[in-house]
Amino acid sequence: MAISTSVRHFFFRVALLTLGLFLFPLLVEAAVPRTCGPGVTVKLSAPSSNQGSLLLLEVRSSKPLSEVTAEWNSKNVPFWQVPSGNSNSSKGAAGDLREAILGVDLEKAPGTYSLAVRVQSSDGKPASCTLQIPIRAGKFATERLQVGKEFVEPDAEQIKRANEERDKLRAIFDQITPEKLWDGDFRVPLDGVTTGSNFGKRRVLNGQPGSPHSGVDFPSLTGTPIHAAQSGRVALAQELFFSGNTVVVDHGLGIYTFYGHLSEIDVKVGDDLQIGQVLGKVGATGRVTGPHLHWGLTVERARVNPLQLVKLLDNSSKKPETPTPQ
């Protein structure tokens, strides 16, 4: 009995060790380039991610590629091509470099997810590879509030209105404009502000779990100008039940920024905005406790922390990987 137990322990330990050896390369491989067919490498900005986060995906080829596709979150990933000889960085110096942003929704179940990448070089055979990406639970605060019943239970008409507006927003976020409407880094929409709060916060109102807070809040004075985080096209500019006066900007490739609780909207649907252009003013419209900007980011329907987009592309354009021959 004693022997068989220790033998079982031995095999258990061997099994654990084997599993560890097997898992370790999966966890580290995503951060370093790996090959995906002759002369093609695939790289992620981090080996793993968290709920509500972003990853930058790079596909680099020594020869021109005729097609690059990938599937993430059961959706086709929209890639863009980094122009060769880009003066900001050495990234596009030779060959073909494609990039894409992957969003991890703030409620995506933790686990390991596959990212399948397929490439077709203009003079070769198709190749494919699969990355395993571990997704961890985000660290979000939970807020428990006791409030008057009328604040958590809107009447039938208000519920109908809120549902219609939610559907309208979903229909907008589902549209993938195929062109990349911006160039360079994203910025925080308020001047002189670098951090905000409340992203992903779970709210429990009178013991009932509400939906998590899907944006970042920036408390500010009413009337403070709000700047477009990047260039894009206005997809929505109207008053909504929960977010008050709201503007949504389409940046192309499934990327949308959302600005809520405005005192004043200064743009209309269809307007083409430049980065930094004033689209409205901070206010306290909709369901708020005080004046602030609610800033949201949606990437192919995934609700992610917009402050991460400011950092992600900032890092990517300012961190050369290989020296550029002059």
Tell whether residue 200 is a contact of Zn ion (CB under 5 A).
Answer: no
Smallest gap from residue 229 Cβ to Zn ion (A): 16
**Count of residues in contact with Zn ion, rule CB under 5 A:** 2
Smallest gap from residue 90 Cβ to Zn ion (A): 39
* DSSP structure string for 243-274: TEEEEEEE-STTEEEEEEEESEE---TT-EE-
Of 204-233, binders to Zn ion (CB under 5 A) are 217
Tell whether residue 293 is a contact of Zn ion (CB under 5 A).
Answer: no
Tell whether residue 251 is a contact of Zn ion (CB under 5 A).
Answer: no
Tell whether residue 294 is a contact of Zn ion (CB under 5 A).
Answer: yes
Smallest gap from residue 318 Cβ to Zn ion (A): 30
Q: Which two tokens stand for residue 64?
A: 């021109």
Amino acid 54 reads L
**Beta carbon nearer to Zn ion, 78 or 244:** 244
User: What 8-state DSSP symbol labels residue 125?
Assistant: -
**Beta carbon nearer to Zn ion, 48 or 308:** 308
Q: Strand pairing of 302-304 and 292-299?
A: antiparallel
| Cα 181 to the center of its chain, rounded Å | 16
182 close to 223: Cβ distance less than 8 angstroms: no
Smallest gap from residue 198 Cβ to Zn ion (A): 6
Tell whether residue 91 is a contact of Zn ion (CB under 5 A).
Answer: no
Longest dimension (CA), the chain: 79
Provide the CB-side half-sphere exposure for 119 (13 A, CA): 28
Tell whether residue 99 is a contact of Zn ion (CB under 5 A).
Answer: no
Tell whether residue 98 is a contact of Zn ion (CB under 5 A).
Answer: no
Smallest gap from residue 242 Cβ to Zn ion (A): 9
Rg (CA), the chain: 23
**Beta carbon nearer to Zn ion, 78 or 212:** 212
Residues that bind Zn ion (CB under 5 A): 217, 294
